[in-house]
Structure 1
């Protein structure tokens, strides 16, 4: 047996960008050939992009993917390359890896297990392949082996587990590959980002190398491919239970190539560390990359944000500024500006704050209920980042709307009788003018809703939910509050000092009422505790109460009241979650029905379940 130089290449692809996707693949192959790579593995569905959704169901889309495969073939002389694409056979579509070598196709390996939970709906598009089955596929006027097959290079046998294949505790393909004597298993994946998931993958890859007795090479897609789901571009290599290779995640590059010599002569296991700081850093890195990709792929010219001076909008402001900082540091100013389509009007010698000022515009939209503290907080933060800052009031517009309704009703609106109405009109009045600014600049409007607000509907439709994208809709408010303190202390964003000194408030009621979010709702940690059980774990109200009664020090009657409020508000506000702006999947779960948790818009609202909970003795 001769030694092999293995390689994995992560790619930042985009559905329907045939030319861009091919260019990334071909450039990575060229680099691999320069490095004398023998076997190069690309991620799952890398020719089309994983996020192609119902395009996979068409007849023309898989056919065009095969045409791209033909374009790749001439670049495979002297190297073996694995690329992912959909293959249609009659009425069924399969998620496949094509094995290419010396300008020839050696065969196709289809995925055996489909991801059908959480953010994944693969069974809508693909058919799982049965283990042990092999057929002949005819394409390009030639016949090729297709199915559960293995290959050999320089005396080393190798096979594939495609993403979900490896996560099956029983009947995973790897066990059968072990019996067939493979030496190397490649895992080409399209595994969505979630905070803490990298650690799970490390465990999977390390344990797989031990349990299966193989060298195990894993490669994931990279970037915000199609709008919602983020891929971190992780590459892992493990042998004998030790992780020997791990790349830098969430890169701004179009592709990354990592090589490893096999067999490994002097293995040096990596020291891998995971902590809350790691989770905070992951959130920041994933969100900034998602914003970068969304900006350039939507061909927009920047971002607009209604900056209230509070936690949510300040979080987004930091993320936009950090997106610029990371992009310039990794790509260089000239390439960064080229990628975001601003090379023609922003000088390459511009500083990071100067670039931020050109692509990021903020506005504080005050009312008579707003405080000097939040105005100063917003202004100081924008100034510290270099963002363009505007300040105007909307009292005139709010009064105009209010007087028209009062005339129509023949009565005055009062806080005692019309509290929600008078709050909502302020939030909604902010929307048209900030949209106007975004439209004029051809910028994306950033919505500021978080997951805790999504749980309870604590957001005004067509008000603070207005936006092109909602970057933090998938993370809880208590996570955001601790992250802001971390960003100030650990990342040096000292403009957050005023933000972190404020108590979260909508500032929609008169100041003398001292409105706070937690008084309107309940303590944010309680919301998070309930939502994890009710939404993540899908527990009933009774289960939630019995579990939290043992975990949280609260009067049973108060805990019941919080749980009842959560389920009641959750049920009546599903229509709001259906209308959320495009959000990024960032945590282990989210409440966006388009990506994770589906719930009926109309329901009985847990009436019987909550009544049963109330019967429990305290």
Structure 2
């Protein structure tokens, strides 16, 4: 007679370093899976006990001791259900990224991650030793193999588990989001199943951790490579899957298959990143300098969606160059969102600073120096409000600006979290249009007029930069794909002169980016953990062509 197994996929939002809190949540979710759903197994993400990535906390002996104590507390507290949980395991003086299966006070299996990623945002070889042995345990007559995250991206670990008798493979993950990441994961799992045809249960973390956002998307794929269930993206919770066990193997029963991708997925990633950065770091809310331009318009909308409008303060800081249209549009958006809104003129403050510098500047002409004074006065005001209220200043610079240095250090770069730091300018517009499909909050003029910093009369961004469609294409190829100037010219049709000018701006402004606030990562090559270039460098692009 065929029988069924019930597995609970615990798509959990962990807090790095909060071992006690993470363990409390694991115990509670395991008890719920047993009591309310009669699950046979509950599966938690990679390093769920510590959160991911714990980085150099792993070098502290007391951190490892607390993690081991947390695992022991789970072992003692949970009964009547098998629990699969990730944790750092110190064994014979070596540290492993491990997964343990616990049931009724016993350890049924212990697995050490085989493939340690050491690229992009990952540096696991700094901390962990690679495992080499498979781990297969029996769950009510079914042989279940264990793998951890990167193990599914290479062919050997899953094939080794199947050779050891696994009829079902579980893969626990802390796999961060970037655009189109879910499609990549699913394609890789299908590749593994094509060689080792058994079902895969894939469980991923959710939530924001500094620059990284984990999107969940936990899933079950059958032995033919078909998705039978997919959990919602960016939503914490327990998601059940049922598997029929018969003579021919294990067959997942079809269930809910949700999908969040495209602009909706990117927007959810930004909202999740802002919410968790502010809440996990215990800020009271967010402060945004709302200028009437597109970047701050998107930033304040994301903040309101992440935190609720009652925790967001939008501040308009007009100068003599600020247009009435900008004032009107900023107020209109604040009212549409329902956020607290205030206006603080910077004219007198800027004038007093310029008068204080008048003797020093005698004989010089007005240039970007005076423009930057305006931006820096705004930064001072926002930071003062932050100090007084306990709310975090969210900066509004986009990836295009961060790349070429079209931002003022200690001015509009002043703040604690850079919401759209990894969002190119054209994508800012697309996300703003998307946000207005949910409810119309960004005024139409903000979406259609030429972008401007409004730091001098009749200024537009295109006075200083190439057209954004060209600029974004050049930057994507150079920053995210490491293409040469000649390759970029062939791909975009832009002149080598323009491309080299853009590359020179990127190189020249590394020192600014090094001092920028962290921000949500949505691309495969973000500024920060991903892209680490020297500030002081004699390397130049070749001049040929």
TM-score range, shorter chain: over 0.9
In structure 1, distance between residues paired with 2:106 and 2:256 = 37
Counterparts of 1:282 and 1:370, CA distance in 2: 34
- Using the TM superposition, give the Cα deviation of residue 376 of structure 1 relative to its aligned residue in structure 2, in angstroms: 1.1
TM-score, with structure 2 as normaliser: 0.94
Query: Greater CA deviation, 230-239 or 199-208?
Result: 199-208
Question: Is the Cα contact below 8 Å between 1:2 and 1:155 reproduced in 2?
Answer: no
Residue 340 of structure 2 is matched in structure 1 by: 388
Alpha-carbon deviation of 1:588? 2.3
Give the structure 1 partner of residue 278 of structure 2: 295
Q: CA deviation at 1:179?
A: 2.1
For the structure 1 residues 41 and 122, does the alpha-carbon distance in structure 2 shift closer, same or farther, using more than 3 Å as the test?
same
Report the alpha carbon displacement of residue 245 of structure 1 after superposing the two structures with TM. Answer: 0.6
2:197 pairs with 1:197: no
- CA drift at 1:96: 0.1
Counterpart for residue 264 of structure 2: 281
1:368 equivalenced with 2:315 (yes/no)? no
CA distance in 2, matches of 1:590, 1:83: 30
Alignment TM-score, normalising by the size of structure 1: 0.83
**Structure 2 segments unaligned to the other structure (5+ residues):** none
Tell me, yes or no, if structure 1 residue 535 matches structure 2 residue 536: no
My pick for the range that moved more, 396-405 or 180-189, is 396-405
Q: 1:475 aligns with which of 423, 433, 436?
A: 423
Aligned to 1:141: none
Q: Which runs of 5+ in 1 are unaligned?
A: 133-147, 325-354
Q: Hey, what's the Cα distance between the residues in 2 that align with 1:604 and 1:544?
A: 22
1:212 aligns with 2:196: yes
Find the counterpart in structure 2 of residue 157 from structure 1.
143
Number of equivalenced pairs: 538
Among 210, 228, 234, the residue aligned to 1:250: 234
Distance 1:193 1:273, change over 3 A: closer
Q: 1:256 to 1:502 in 2, by over 3 A?
A: farther
The reply on whether 1:10 has 2:36 as its aligned counterpart is no
Corresponding residue number in structure 1 for 2:460 = 516
In terms of mean alpha carbon deviation, does 198-207 or 516-525 score higher? 198-207
3-state SS, counterpart of residue 51 of structure 1: coil
Q: Does structure 1 residue 232 correspond to structure 2 residue 215? A: yes
**Shift of residue 202, structure 1, vs aligned partner:** 2.4
**What's the secondary structure of 2:358's corresponding residue?**
helix
2:438 equivalent among 491, 509, 528: 491
Q: How far apart are 1:42 and its partner, in Å?
A: 0.8
1:92 equivalent in structure 2: 94
Q: Deviations over 1:276-320 (max 9, x none)?
A: xx3211121111122221222111111111101111111111111
List per-residue Cα deviations over 1:26-55 (Å, max 9, x = no partner): 111011112111122111000011121101
Q: 1:340-489 maps to which residues of 2 (within 5 A)?
A: 356=309, 358-411=310-363, 413-415=364-366, 419-488=367-436
Task: Give the deviation of 1:599 after TM superposition.
Answer: 0.4
Indicate how the Cα distance of structure 1 residues 16 and 267 shifts in structure 2: closer, same or farther if over 3 A, else same. closer
Aligned partners of 2:393 and 2:417 also within 8 Å: yes
> 1:351 maps to which residue?
none
Is residue 507 of structure 1 aligned with residue 459 of structure 2? no
1:262 matches 2:244: yes
> For 1:366, what is the secondary structure of its paired residue?
coil
Give per-residue Cα distances to partners, 1:318-362, cap 9 Å, x unaligned: 1112224xxxxxxxxxxxxxxxxxxxxxxxxxxxxxx51x31111
1:605: how far off?
A: 5.0
What residue number does 2:470 align with? 526
Q: Distance in 2 between matches of 1:410 and 1:266?
A: 78
The CA distance in 2 between the partners of 1:284 and 1:233, in whole Å, is 15
Alignment RMSD, CA only? 1.9
SS in 1 for 2:54: helix
Secondary structure, counterpart of 1:88 in structure 2: strand
Helix, strand or coil: the match of 1:164?
A: helix
Give the whole-Å Cα distance in 1 for the aligned partners of 2:53 and 2:160.
30
Query: Structure 2 CA distance, aligned partners of 1:535 and 1:262?
Result: 48
- The 1:266–1:7 alpha-carbon spacing in structure 2 relative to 1, beyond 3 Å, is closer
Inter-partner Cα distance in structure 2 for 1:406 and 1:459: 24
Change (3 A) 1:294 1:272: closer
Match of 2:300 in 1: 317
Q: Distance in 2 between matches of 1:414 and 1:390?
A: 34
TM-superposed deviation, 1:267? 4.5
